[in-house]
Structure 1
Amino acid sequence: MSHTAHIRSHRKPRRSASKVAMRAGVAGGVLSTLAVAGASGSANAAEPVTQTLELPTLTADLATQVAQSADATQQAAANYALQAERDTAAAKAAKQAKADLADAKQKAEAKRKAAEEAARKKAAERASRSTERTTLSTSAGTGTSVGTSTGSSTATGSAAAVISFVKAQIGKAYVSGATGPSAYDCSGLVQTAFKQVGISLPRVSQDQSTAGTQVSLSNLQPGDILYWGGAGSAYHVAVYVGDGMFVGAQNPSSGVVEKPLSYDPPSGAVRVL
């Protein structure tokens, strides 16, 4: 007998093949069950995963829609603001156009009134001249001689100097406001002529027509100042030079001329010499 025969073997007893096979089958079944359960669990767990994966896509679409809606809102607000600006500008333009129209009407009315007033004055002047012509014609018909009936036709002294001066200006130009030496207006010629003999006359026709003593047109003397229009409101003056003639700065087209009284009969006369 071996000296180790009495010692129990340290080896594990062998399992029978049937038990191993059974256990392997059980283990395989368990593993299969676990695999099926795992697969089933995986399949069941896949549904929330699929939903979770789709959520970002839905969120991105929603964000895009929100952004588009915000853009549309902003664009609508901009359109409303632009329309408001246009409406304000249109209202302002309409208001300005109304004011301009009112101003234009007011100016047109003022021009119309001025034209009517000018026409009225011209008509009054023509009527006055017509009246004076009628008076002179009547005087001539009754034998009254204008300028020669009682007064002297020959200028002497200061009157001669005035007449000599105005005749020397015949042919010079008529310029409104001019007092010589190359051009005159009607009152400028009269004022400058009397200044030659030391007499200072007012500058304008209205004042010159009342500067001296009023005399009748039938009793004129050389050197008298003739005026057209009313005394104090005369619109033209000239110098009587005798023999039914006068010298005056008539208008821009004729300048300084010598004309007979019948050419344009005066309204009255004053004597300062």
Structure 2
Amino acid sequence: MSHTAHIPSHRKPRRRSASTMALRAGVAGGVLSTIAVAGSAGTANAEPVTETIEMPTVTSAGLAEAVTQAVETQRQAAFDRDLQAQEDAAAVQAEKAAKTAKAEAIRKAEAERAEEKKRQQAAERASRTAERTQLAATSADSGEGSASSSGSSSKASNRGESSSKASGSVATVISFLKAQVGDAYVMGATGPNSWDCSSLVQAAFRQVGVDLPRVSQDQSVAGRQVGTSNLKVGDILYWGNAGSAWHTGVYIGDGKYLDAANPRKGVVIQDLSGYPATGAVRVL
């Protein structure tokens, strides 16, 4: 042995054989390969963590019951809709029927009122006709008696003034006039159910044989002027100037007069204070 063999730095390195080194390299490589494969396998086979939801178990019987219940719900909803629609339609129909019934009732009531008015007018015309017939007969009898006693008729003079009459003449005139109350006013009409102002006055005095002019202007100068402060029943009233008057009527006493007033009023009795006359003439 060399005298420096025990000194490490002077030791000669051991030479490993090539087979030993190859063996060690192979073992190391195998271990690394095993570790790598194990890591890869572990990563590939790892399961992710998820939340688990439990689903209800559905059986055939449960499914059938659910379907049946859904169908029944839909059917009930459809029934409710149909019922509501029928109720709405019935309400609309009832409202229409009520309106129709009301309109029909109003129409019938108006027709009945119109018919009743016609009956009343017919009765009034019949009554007036009877009164006129009676007045005409009375006037005729009075005229015949006067003719037999005097031998002459009582007609107006050229100035339109009348001769003396029997005491009942004024009453006859007023009775005739009152029998026409309610008749219509129609311009130019001469009776028997419609008049204008002058035709009514003319017809009234004709009942006692006094022949008056046809129009208001001439009637306003057909007798003796008496003014309006000393009126007597039977005096002819006029509105406007004498000779150009535009309306006439007859004084019937108690501050009232009777005339064919206008289309709205017809033949009426009115208060003289409400529509004072301009003047008056007396023929009886």
- Which has the larger share of helix? 1
Considering Cα pairs closer than 8 Å and 6+ residues apart, tell me whether 1 or 2 has the greater RCO: 1
Give the structure-1-normalised TM-score: 0.43
